[in-house]
Structure 1
């Protein structure tokens, strides 16, 4: 129990002068899907970023609905599902005048809850999978502690048949300190 508390104190001490940012915004799918019968819809992302280890650490939470596509190739029993992805990322920060650019890598887990009130194809109505990806995030000050941000990235979700998706996101950031 002492080791996690000491690690937290070291992290807090190294980030004492660090800026903490809370961000929220929308996500937009650009390419790929989490399966051949689903289409990802625009979603939402919330992030917390702070300086650590010579760069910026990012904790992100994404929410997006995935609708079963209409058509002959779609199994009748394919339900819609909600994807909730939680990731931890890190990347260096490049200050380019007023623009902050942060390319980074992330790892995390996704939770997929199917809208089928039971079983889908003999499977449980939800599952969790690991994911990994890379992103590029840019931020620019607007007024006071408020910033605008935009990001694009690619993720690989490790289902039994891994799926790769690309997306973009953007919104507003509040710099806490």
Structure 2
């Protein structure tokens, strides 16, 4: 399997060739709000926990020839070995992606993100000495496809790869699917942000 950073590097080098990349928008012209489900892809913790489906929310706007975003995802992790407690993971990130606009309003975006993930371990008498909260730095890559559904409503599917920088680094891969709504930024917000 190719390394995620190599796939993104090839994407960013090849994307401008033969594709429309400038939509005429300036930074912060529009805001896109998206939400959906976040599904685990593969075994993420060497069998120690079973990752469960979760929820995902995302806000983005035009920024430096691409789209900048803020996102959060939340999902449960159940113990897989009875030697570790269950926990809730909350991951927040900021990122940027380079969109390629294809025919019929479809777009494909590849990019990267930085953030943090918080593990909230469930209290349990069996694990009374176990740490209750842990926060770690994350970095990763994503590839997203979006298509119009009607008006300003769109649908998306995204593959999201995250590296969690724990003592033994963890890689998480998730697939997000859902709907997005794009609207013009209020004039006061454009003035403030520019």
Is TM (by shorter chain) over 0.5? yes
Q: Which residues in structure 2 correspond to 1:21-170 (within 5 Å)? A: 21-34=32-45, 36-69=47-80, 74-76=81-83, 78-97=84-103, 98-116=105-123, 120=127, 122-170=129-177
Alpha-carbon deviations, 1:101-144, whole Å to 9, x = none? 11000110000001115894734201000111100011111111
Q: 1:25 to 1:52 in 2, by over 3 A?
A: same
Further displaced range: 30-39 or 129-138: 30-39
SS at match of 1:57: strand
TM-score by length of 1: 0.83
CA contact (8 A) 1:47 1:59 kept: yes
Is the 2:85–2:124 Cα contact (8 Å) retained in structure 1? no
- 1:79 Cα deviation (Å)? 1.4
Structure 1 residue 158: deviation in Å? 0.8
Aligned CA-pair RMSD: 1.8
Contact 1:119 1:125 in 2 (8 A): no
3-state secondary structure, aligned to 1:122: coil
CA distance in 2, matches of 1:52, 1:156: 24
1:14-68: CA deviations, max 9, x gaps?
Answer: 525x221000000110123145410100101000011001101111100000011
CA contact (8 A) 1:117 1:125 kept: no
Query: Residue deviations 1:85-114, cap 9 Å, x none?
Result: 001110111101111111000110000001
Residue ranges of structure 2 left out of the alignment (5+ in a row): 1-25, 185-194
TM-aligned CA distance change 1:32 to 1:164, over 3 Å? farther
2:149 is the alignment partner of 1:173 = no
Aligned position for 2:30: 19
